[in-house]
Amino acid sequence: MTEARKIYFAIFRRAIPPIVAERFAAANERLERAAGPRELAEHRRIVAECADLEAAEVAGRYTGRLKLLTRKFRLMVYLAETLPENQPFFVNETSSFLTGLWQGFAGGVRTIFKLLKGVWLLRGVARG
């Protein structure tokens, strides 16, 4: 369950709701059964050792590594988007061109920063 808490916190910066944790645990079993032993070992290592899972996931997605981590992040987003308290992460309720432009720019800069940080963090993980 520690993995679910870490992934949820990396995405939403708050504690995981019990219902999401339960659903994640059930679906997580299927994801792990489908993964190979090497992929599973790399995944467990990065989850245990990495200080910034979000950066590791971004780097893994762009480099084609840590596919299991990316699948688990997608699963967590899929499960969490149904909760009303998470709607501000998925729905923009204001309409402003300048705000949208700024948010797009800031998001791009943040993604580049996370990518660079993630590549640095993944340097110790063997290629899968």
Answer yes or no: is pLDDT of 106 > 50.
yes
Expressed as residue numbers, the domain containing 114 is 2-122
Instruction: Note whether residue 102 is domain-resident.
Output: yes
Instruction: Note whether residue 28 is domain-resident.
Output: yes
Q: What is the pLDDT of residue 128?
A: 45
Instruction: Note whether residue 19 is domain-resident.
Output: yes
Helix-, strand-, coil-residue percentages of the chain, each rounded to 5: 75, 0, 25
Record the tokens describing residue 66, joined without a space: 């840590």
Locate tokens 């149904």: which residue?
A: 82
Note the pLDDT tens digit of each residue in 13-37: 999 999 999 999 999 999 999 999 9
Strands (DSSP E) contained in the chain are none
Rounded Cα–Cα distance for residues 44 and 120 (Å): 18
Instruction: Note whether residue 128 is domain-resident.
Output: no
Instruction: Note whether residue 127 is domain-resident.
Output: no
Spell 74-100 as b/e; 16+ CB within 10 A means b.
Answer: ebbbebbeeeeebeeeeeeeeeeeeee
Rounded Cα–Cα distance for residues 37 and 46 (Å): 14
> Which element (helix H / strand E) includes 26?
helix 18-34
CA angle 74, 35, 45 (to 5 degrees): 80
Note the pLDDT tens digit of each residue in 60-87: 999 888 899 999 999 999 999 989 998 8
Number of domains in the chain: 1
Rounded Cα–Cα distance for residues 54 and 83 (Å): 21
